[in-house]
Every structure is written in C-alpha cells, then in structure tokens.
Chains A and B, each alone.
Chain A
Amino acid sequence: MQSVNKWFDSFHALNDINFATKKGEKVVVCGPSGSGKSTLIRCLNGLELHTSGTIDVLGIRLLKDGQSLRKIRENIGMVFQQFNLFPHLTVIENCTLAPITTLGLSPAEATERAMKYLDRVKIADQAHKLPKHLSGGQQQRVAIARSLCLEPKIMLFDEPTSALDPETINEVLDTMISLAEDGMSMICVTHELAFARKIADRIIFMDQGQIIDDQPPEEFFLNPGSERAKEFISQILTH
C-alpha cells in the first residue's frame, strides 16, 4: 500500500497510508473508533475504493475495474463485525455457495470442502441449521469457515468479536489463533489487545486516518512510540 488516501466527501478517512506485509505475517490494526482502521482493510479487497495512491495485493494492482477486483478477492477472505451470514441459507449452503459459483466446484466437492472447514472451526455438527439458530460466536465461526472455503491466502478480520457476547468471544479468538498458528496471513482490526499480543507480528496503531505506530507487540505495549497510543492502551486496559 503506497501513499493511499481515501476521502468520504470532505472527510479524510485515510491519510497517506504506507504499509506492506509479508507472507504469513499477522498484523493487528487498532486505534480509536473513526480512526480509519475498518476503512483501511475494506480498501484492501475493494469494498471501499481508495481515492488516490496504489494498492497491490499479492502482486495485483487494485484498480477500479471488475477484473482486478475479482482476482484480488479470489485470494482474500473477509470476516465482518456483524457476521453477514446469509440468513436464508443453511450453514453448509452459506459455505458452498461461493465455491460452487466462483470456483466452479461441483456441489459434492464443495460440500466436502465446506465440511472440512466447518470441522476446522469445530461447528460441523450444526451444518444443516439456519444461522439464526446459532449463537453469535457460532455464527462468526461459520463466517470464518465460509471465507476459508475459498482457500484465501490472506484473511481480513474487521472487529470480529465486537458484536459478540463476552462468553462467546473466546471461541472465536481461539479459532483465529489456531488459524494464525497454521501460518495464515492475517490482518485483523480488533480491540482485543491480549489476543493481539499473543498472535501479532506487528501492531499498527491508527488515529485520524494516519498510521501513528507500527511496532512488534512487545514494544507497542511496553513502549508505545506515541503519546496517543499510550493513552489508547491505558484506556483499554483500565476498562
């Protein structure tokens, strides 16, 4: 990502963002609300189109045409704060829809693959239920499995635990940790600093559309590079 800017009308959501990640790297993005974290990762798969600058994902330049977007999305999975499962489809159908439609898998192959990843997030026994019959944590795990079914090279997480009840947060975090341990490249917007400390290779702290800090977690927590990051950490920890 090079000198990326994003404007929402007159609001400068991303201000001269530069950063790069390596394969297998786990990056946690944090910062106060409205700081542009979500916008940042939504730009990576073109859910928001950046106003200026260049974004390259896995060697593909992200342009406004459908072609580059589809190529990039083929390799990026995304998990949302509100899960965004398809409520009219069962868990397994949620998982098989995209592989059948975009990868051209046969229903049997797609089902097999879906079961594999549902098993991976430990929810295979719920495969034939509708999303509304699952708890929030279960729904989010299904959403993770649904993304994995396209076998992406990078996973984006946009505050995956913010909409969850406290008691189900851990099951989702555990799933993410095990993904991380398997070497998946991850970019994760979250306020779960304990989780960040555990899996992150780097923590990016954002404020007002800018990247203020970009450090390994130990350094970030012990010796944040900026006053604002210090304030943010103390606010979260005293909560």
Chain B
Amino acid sequence: MSRDLSPWARESHPSARPRITWPADMMGFAGTLFGLRTRRPSNAPPRQGEPRDRLSRSDIRRIPDLFNVLAWRVDYQVMGIDALTGLQAPVVFAANEQGALDWQVLKLVLPPRLRTTHRHLSRSLTQGRSVAVFTDDPLVPDEVGDFTTVAADLATQYSIPIVPVALGGTFKLKEILRLALKSKPRVWVCFGAPIYVHGRSLAETTAEVQAAVGELFRSEQMSWWAVQRGAAAPTCRAESMPRWRRLWGQTAPRPIREHRLWQ
C-alpha cells in the first residue's frame, strides 16, 4: 500500500447481536394513533388516491381452488397462463364452446382477480368484473365454432383487451361426470396473448379472435411465435366426424412430456 491511511481508519465489525427495535418503533407511532392523527407539514401537497394494481406472476400461480367441487373431479391442465401477467381487470375472455361446463372449467383455472361471469356482460364490465364470451356451437365437431361480434364490441366499448382461450376435453363433460369412472376425465385450458382492439373494426377484431382461438385449439405443441406466424396462413378445417369419434379422441391417452412449450 503506497497511500497512508489514517491510523484510526480501521475496519469495523458490526455486532452480530440481535437487537429488538419493534416495540420502540410502535410506541413512537402510538403518538399518531397509528396514522389516524398526523400533522401535515405546512407546504406539503395533499394526499392522492391510489390506482389499482395489475396481475403479477405470483397472482396467477396455479393453486387449485379446493372449494370448487370440479377441481376434485377432473384432471385439468393449464397452458399459456403467463399470458395473463400484467393484465388489469376487467378483460373479455373469448373461448370456444364445447360443453355445458365450459364456464365452470374456465372459472376453475382463472386467478381470483380475473374470475368471470357470462351474464349481464355490460353491467359486469362497468363494475370491473371480467366476462367470458363463447362461440356458437361448432358446425364441424372437434372444431371451433364462430364468434359473434359481442367480444369485439365489448372490448371496443370499454377499451379492454380480449384474451383468447381454447378449452379441450369439456365436450359432454357433464354427462361423463355422472358415470362411475375409475379415472378422472382430462380437460385442458390454453390461454393466448391478449388482443387489443385499438383502431380496428369489429369485423377485423372478431376475425383475429376467431383465428387466435382456432390456432390455440389446434396447436398445443406450437410456440407462441409459431402460432403468431401461422395466424395469417389459411388452415384446413377438420373433417366431420361422428360424436363417438370425438369423445374417443378426447379420451385417448397422450404421451407424457416433461416440458410443454406453452407452460
């Protein structure tokens, strides 16, 4: 060392002994009646209300809702839930119609702050509650039915995003749950990237929602970027099939994969 440091400039070793500070601090705050009686400095600006919070990753952690009976009766899988990060209720969920329990399945997998209703849509959005809009019944089985312009209309009116959702395995689920099965029926829910409606017509937005839900439904294996790129390409529709084949396909065992792109 070529610089001469002062002889008293020694390294300090802070005491490792724990100190108790909490009682003294709280006694100090008791003088303000714990924030109820405070004096504002003369030139301090007035207080302001606080805006709402957005949905973070910790909010959408997949903890099953154990009070929901459906959670015990189906084996469900959620994909693409990260797409909900940063959203702020309310939003419109646009999902494909498959069976009578679609809404209950969607409600089961959504984080509490985004739980939806599918009645009194406009009033619910005004009150800050998210809503779910479903397609019509599909003309071709195992396909996505057509959306009306309701989702686009609501999103435009309230300036909120539309989240495309694909549901699988819910066809005839209500009837299946009545059977005495040894294994739980399997359902899956796949969320896509939110669609924003700025500057688009209702028809354009509806077409985009339709394409997004269709791609989600068909493309469990694809990455988001692949889905994005494929969205513009024409897709061939599945052949019509009898109902049993649809149920047969729905219950077919799937290969176990350790990693899923959408998770």
Mutual binders A and B: no
Mark B residues whose CB is within 8 Å of A. Answer: none
